[in-house]
Amino acid sequence: MTEQVQLTRLPNGLTVLTEQMPSLRSATVGVWVRLGSRHEPAEWNGVCHFIEHAVFKGTHRRTALDIAVESDRLGGHFDAYTTHEMTGFALKVVDTAVPAAFDLLSDMLARPRFDEEELRREQRVIIEEMKMVEDTPDEFLAEIFNAAYFPEHPLGRPIEGTPKTVSTFGHERTAVFHASAYAPRNLVVAAAGNVRHQELVELAARAFEDAPPAAGGDAGDGDVPRPAAPILVKRKKELEQAHLIIATPFPSARHADRYAASLLGSVIGGGTSSRLWQRVREERGLAYSVGAVGSHYTDAGVFQIYAGTSPEQLDEVLDISLQELRRVLREPIGEDELQLVKDQSVSSILLGLESTSARAGTLARQEIVHGRRITPEQVIARIEAVTPEDLRRVAAEFFKTESLALAALGDLNGFKVDRARLEV
C-alpha cells in the first residue's frame, strides 16, 4: 500500500487532508465538524443534527432547490450524518467536478441562510423523524436504553433532540450555535481519489477566509461518561416480537485494547459464523435478528448484544446470551476461531481501500478521534498481534456482573430479571 496522504493546517485552524488515488476517475470530498450531540448543552439537544438538515435549505447564494439541482447535476452521491461526536458532509463525484463539489459544500456550511420559514418546516420534518423512531421497536429500545445507561450525560440524549428542544431552533439560536460550531478550527476537510492536495488547500482557504481564526473553541469531549447498569423492562403489548439488549462497558476508541475488543465482539456476535448467530438462529431457530456490536466513543465504550424474538422465547435467548458471555470468561478462544475474525476484519479494511468515500471518512475520523494518521498497515499489524489471552483479559476486565445492563421491550407479561440472574 503506497502512502499518498498529505496534511495541511491553515493559520485559522482548519485542517485539510487528502489521499491521492491517481488511477481513479472519481473523488470523495467532504467536510467534517469536530462536534456532535455530546457537545451540546441539554437545552440545545439536537442542534447539531438540526444544522445538518438546515444547511440544505439555502445559502445567501443558493436556494434549497438550487442545492438539490446542483447536487443532482454533479451526478454523485451526497451523504450527511450526525453522530454523538461528529457531523459529516461528503460528496462523491467525478474528478473534474471536485472544485464545483467543494464550492457547493463550503457555501452550504460557511454561509447558510437559516430562513425562518424553512427552519419551521424542517422542525416538523425532524419531529416526524422522532415519531418514526418511536414506531421502530429496536431503535426505540436503543434510545430509551441509552438514556438509562448514560444518565445525566449527553451520550444518553437522542442525537435528533426532542420536540421541545428542536422547536426552539429558530434563525437566531441556530445561527449563534452555527457560528461557534462551524468555526474553522472545528472543521476537517478531507478528500480521497484523484484529487490534488494544493488545489483543495487553496479552495478551503478561500471558502473559509472570512471566519476569524479565534472564532469558536476546541470541541473537547466534555465530561467523561459514567455508565450505569440499569435493568429496564418495558411492556408494549401491541408488539409481536420482544426486543432484548444486554450491555457492558467496553474499551474506548483511544484505548490500547480496542483491537482486541473488536475481535472479541466479532467472536461473540459479529457475523453469521459467530457464536450467538450459530446458537440462537442456526441451531435453535429462536431469532431472525441476533448479534453483537461494540460502540467506541473517544473516552468510553459499550458492548451490546441485541436480539428480536417471540416473547415466549425471550428467556431462552437471554440464557444463551449470558452463557456466551460466561464462556469467553472461562474458556480460551481457540487460535482458529481468532484467526477467522482476524481474517474477517482485515478483509473489511482491504475492501474499504477501494472506496474513496471510506478512505476520506477514515482520514477525517482519525484526525478527529486520534489527532494523527493511522495507516492500514499499522491497523492490520495491531489486529494480527492480538492473542487469545488478550481477548480473555479484555473479557475479564469488562464483563462483570455488577456492570451488566439489560433492556427489554415487548409483550413481556411475566418476564422478570434481577441482578442474580445476570451473574457472569
The DSSP annotation for 250-273 comes to E--TTSTTHHHHHHHHHHHHSSTT
Which has the closest alpha carbon to 55: 44, 71, 40? 71
pTM of this structure: 0.93
216 pLDDT exceeds 50? no
Annotated active-site residue in 3, 19, 40, 52: 52
Which has the closest alpha carbon to 144: 158, 132, 130? 158
Three-class DSSP category at 375: coil
Q: Residue 52 catalytic?
A: yes
Helix/strand/coil percentages in the chain, nearest 5: 50, 20, 35
Three-class DSSP category at 43: helix
217 pLDDT exceeds 60? no
Q: Which is more confident, 219 or 354?
A: 354
58 pLDDT exceeds 60? yes
Please state, in angstroms and rounded to a whole number, the distance separating the CA atoms of residues 399 and 394.
Answer: 8
- List, for residues 76-127, the tens digit of each pLDDT value: 789 999 999 999 999 999 999 999 999 999 999 999 999 999 999 999 999 9
Please, are residues 105 and 70 in contact by the beta-carbon 8 Å criterion? no
pLDDT score, position 413? 84
Average pLDDT over residues 324-345: 97
Average pLDDT over residues 229-244: 94
Please state, in angstroms and rounded to a whole number, the distance separating the CA atoms of residues 60 and 102.
Answer: 16
Residue 254: exposed, middle, or buried by beta-carbon count in 10 A (0-12, 13-18, 19+)? middle
Please, are residues 250 and 180 in contact by the beta-carbon 8 Å criterion? no
pLDDT score, position 221? 59
pLDDT score, position 224? 87
Q: Residue 100: how many CA atoms within 13 Å on its side-chain side? A: 15
Please state, in angstroms and rounded to a whole number, the distance separating the CA atoms of residues 349 and 382.
Answer: 13
- List, for residues 154-207, the tens digit of each pLDDT value: 999 999 999 999 999 999 999 999 999 999 999 999 999 999 999 999 999 999
Three-class DSSP category at 310: coil
pLDDT score, position 218? 52
Three-class DSSP category at 79: strand
Average pLDDT over residues 367-395: 97
Q: What percent of the chain has pLDDT over 90?
A: 93
- List, for residues 275-329, the tens digit of each pLDDT value: 999 999 999 999 999 999 999 999 999 999 999 999 999 999 999 999 999 999 9
Q: Hey, what's the cell of 78?
A: 451526497
The 8-class DSSP code of residue 243 comes to: E
Output the average pLDDT for the chain. 94
Please, are residues 49 and 96 in contact by the beta-carbon 8 Å criterion? no
Between vectors from CA 419 to CA 416 and to CA 424, what angle results, nearest 5°?
Answer: 115
Average pLDDT over residues 2-18: 91
The DSSP annotation for 201-219 comes to HHHHHHHTTTS-TTSS---
CA distances from 296 to 250, 254, 304, 359 (A): 8, 8, 11, 19
Q: Hey, what's the cell of 307?
A: 436480539
pLDDT score, position 214? 45
pLDDT score, position 289? 94
Three-class DSSP category at 107: helix
- List, for residues 406-418, the tens digit of each pLDDT value: 999 999 988 989 9
Q: Hey, what's the cell of 81?
A: 450524518
pLDDT score, position 362? 97
